[in-house]
A and B are shown apart, each in its own frame.
Chain A
């Protein structure tokens, strides 16, 4: 890596801005009625994490039932329940990961 710390910081900011800009552009184009540029892997892990979390911690069903109930085709997202922290992490294809956490009185929310 070259350049002063200030330059590196500026580059990082530029890179971050570019990423955010692209993300915003993608989001805006998504709102134009020509379909959504969703990432299938991201959809899969978010669906599995959120619904698994709610099934276990809100509906109070056992894990085996919830694994079956939240299963979609293709079954790529693998959920892992953390009972201590009351959250579910779902991963897929080594690249995709989502976490949903339970909060008393508010149920489960997708954190990422």
Chain B
């Protein structure tokens, strides 16, 4: 990977001006919301189906649903469900390993993208400003210079180690948060971490930033909304009846990891983003919010943050992942045969919701892939695109 060529400090006057413009555009009442993009079909009350058939369907069946070895060996591609939505209709739907359309599935870090929507809805409804101090809404934190926008960009600057199985347990911040010291009050655990860098200057993929963001969002809300906002803001309006966002004992939504939904409902979430945060003509997310989610993460470009990116990592957006290439940094598209406008929510063990606007496509996969990156997502998504073309 090439050395740094971008040096953009988001706290420079130019960046601050950009941020102000963004906030002005996002704040309800300050600017007229853009009209919602039309859709031919809305899944109301359920998805309509136009199941495809052809060689690409067979190829997808073979690739995604052929198990190897015994189940307890946990080897190979272990797909639990795939739903492909093209132009508002389900064109491919399969389940494996005992899962079916009615089983909510653990989404792991796909939850982060769902939290992104909760944050956007709270902004749209005027409960918080993206550039507030986090301490305006949540006080168990050492660093009040952080803003919700810093957390959305995973730029808190907090010292955090996101290792899972590949790290010794005593070094993993996320294991400590989910099951160790932090488990009963995760946001407070995150808030106690020391700062490694000023907020907005260092990108680190961090489940801690997501949990802290969830606490900040909840803290901005009236008490009666705090226990229901995931459903009130997003899951209810878009009909994700199966969705559950679990909480820790302190009541904080575990925004990093613990959203559950059926693949069909996960497709609804992708469809919300495909339509710029609108659902059936009603805007749920601020104008421009989805654009920010799927743009290159601004903190990723600051200083040497990108150098922490591992080979094969997608370029991060804001609580989403993108298919952007950054030629100046020697970063190529992570899914080279997929349109550059694709972006995805991605979770541990192979969970994903991929949105491809130029193909009018939402591709959901749930899985139990214990071997790291055993699925070639470029191939998988290319097959989904081919199925859509066959269904034309």
Q: Could you tell me which A residues sit within 8 Å of B by CB distance?
A: 26-28, 30-33, 35-40, 42-43, 46-47, 50, 54-55, 58-62, 65, 68-69, 105-111
Q: How many angstroms between the C-alpha atoms of A111 and B196 in the bound complex?
A: 32
The answer for the CA separation of A28 and B142 in the assembled complex, in Å, is 12
Q: Say whether A109 contacts B248, CB under 8 Å.
A: yes
Tell me the complex Cα distance, A109–B231, Å: 18
The CA-CA distance from A42 to B183 in the complex, in Å, is 11
> Are A36 and B171 also in contact (CB < 8 A) when A106-B247, A107-B244 are?
yes
B residues near A, CB below 8 A? 71-72, 98-99, 102-106, 159, 161, 168-173, 175-176, 178-181, 183-184, 189, 192-194, 196, 227, 231, 244-249, 258, 260, 368
Q: Tell me if B103 and A59 are in contact (CB < 8 A).
A: yes
Is B260 touching A54 in the complex (CB atoms < 8 A)?
yes
B161 cross-chain contacts in A, Cβ below 8 A: 33
Is B244 within 8 A of A58, CB to CB?
yes
B5 to chain A, nearest CB (A): 29
CA distance A30 to B181 in the complex (A): 8
Which of A40, A54, A110 contacts B183 (CB under 8 A)? A110
**Complex Cα–Cα for A69 and B105 (A):** 13
Q: Which residues of A contact B104 (CB under 8 A)?
A: 58-60
B193 x A69 contact (CB < 8 A): no
Q: Which residues of A contact B106 (CB under 8 A)?
A: 54-55, 58-59
How long is the Cα–Cα vector from A62 to B99 in the complex, in angstroms?
11
Please name the residue on chain A nearest to B245 by beta carbon.
A107
Given contacts A33-B194, A40-B169, A106-B246, 7 further A-B contacts (CB under 8 A): A30-B180, A33-B159, A42-B180, A47-B179, A68-B71, A106-B247, A107-B258
Taking a contact as CB atoms under 8 Å apart, the answer to whether A61 and B98 are in contact is yes
Asked if A38 and B196 sit within 8 Å, CB to CB, the answer is no
> Looking across the interface, which residue of chain B has its beta carbon closest to that of A53?
B246
Contact A59 B175 (CB under 8 A): no
CB of B71, distance to nearest CB on chain A (Å): 7
